[in-house]
Structure 1
């Protein structure tokens, strides 16, 4: 089991550090909890000080009653669990490929092509030569751009690229949960805009590709023919209806439904309270009542007296920062924390800064842990 710690340093930076690989006899939740406690004890740490936990979607990790997250919450109610955003995003894509046969076929075709080409050095060399010639021609004609990292051998154009920015952002160690929620909403809005506006441009792009490579173009007004040897017609359904409504619109709707189902936690009270710390648009999301409610989630950090003082601090804090030009262009809670420390306002508003730090501790994704697993084959040996 790989363990990574997420914390906020003295400069307000979010830090993620690989703590170690802990051997476990089995992967049941009790064994994993015992292993974590042993690792923490070895480094002089305590689970009682934990303020967030994040894993992938395995049942032994996120089970409601017997999962690792439940066992830790039983002993420390303030160690709030967030299901890894990156894994949830991946699951939304996987589910659509399983539910929609024609999308699944696309990925199966791609896998088959990669397997066939990759199994032969001769085939790979032929592909490289053709790709090299295509790039040279494209550069000469101005169809593609040159630059560092562009036109690489492995740079396949991403399918469903709308979620690409969201996916890439989730890999950042300094990503805060409020910003991740915002990126999720942006991705969903882009899907909706694609559904309403992008059919014509997609059809034009596909037609251009077909013309360039001498592929027959279907007449969208003709009756759609079902696949198969009999080439049966499909009871008056046109090509336009099939490709636009049964494929294009339907796949986007399925993707939106999966995003809503997989990211239901983004509407919980804790995360809604965290969103009130967002400094964008002159702290327009600020809500004193919700921030006081956020403090109640962490009784170890905020006593009854602290809660009374926090109310006054929040009143002064919002007036002070809205009137300070240094905070006018701040985007995201992570940047807010760094700026507060830089301007020493964390000394003036220590309780508000504690709220900000606690919100940053909630893990957006376990990408750091996944990178450790990916690199483990390098260090694995008999020794």
Structure 2
């Protein structure tokens, strides 16, 4: 949809009641908001785009209707006509509201994972909240989503698809179409299927062991005078690396961490540090990596873990389905 409007020379904005000069400029345009192309790995950018589409939907339909009647080429007119087809619009609106619901749940998790200070404890809490909210949406959210879609269609004068009718995929004849109802298509193939993939991906990525590992890592956080320090968790963290910490090393680490944390909290060099990377640098600068070799080894091992936020976001293959497959169904936003 956006590609057509861009090709036609329009920057999507609130255009109702405003002039268009037939080229690439809007006359008297007061752009209150516009659609931005979503970033590849930023869930929040997709969420913001969808919210803008919902708010600007009437204006977008006006633009498409204008292109259908007065497009510069027959291809543009045909594409606008296809986008305005009732069956396409119903799919578009449902997918749009489904994405809004799911990305609305994930938005805080996305923000938490993007934080530069890697607030792992709160991130893990957001993961658990995300799982529970998704499960609640799956169990009880279908009726609310369908009502929201129906109300949106009613407010914009769009005929709502009858859930008991047979669903026909665009581009396929009725003879070759699979025998499923609209209810099955929207509720099972889309609603349940997408949510199940989100839950499965989260369970696979954040197992009990992985979550415990990440929470133990937070004990190395140097912020606020090492307030997150927990010796028991750090020894447990070392146990995840049996090739690097022998049984004897674990006993040494237990004692070394007492000296380490006393030194860190009493030294001005470490008073205002933020982040494990800066902690590692300061340990080397002050030669304390030699004094506390086991603690420093633990820090180095933690820094090699793939916890960079962009890497975590790219890992959610199920989220890629929301961002790619459903986004393409919505007209390659």
Query: TM-score with structure 2 length normalisation?
Result: 0.45
Query: TM-score with structure 1 length normalisation?
Result: 0.40
More helix, by proportion: 2
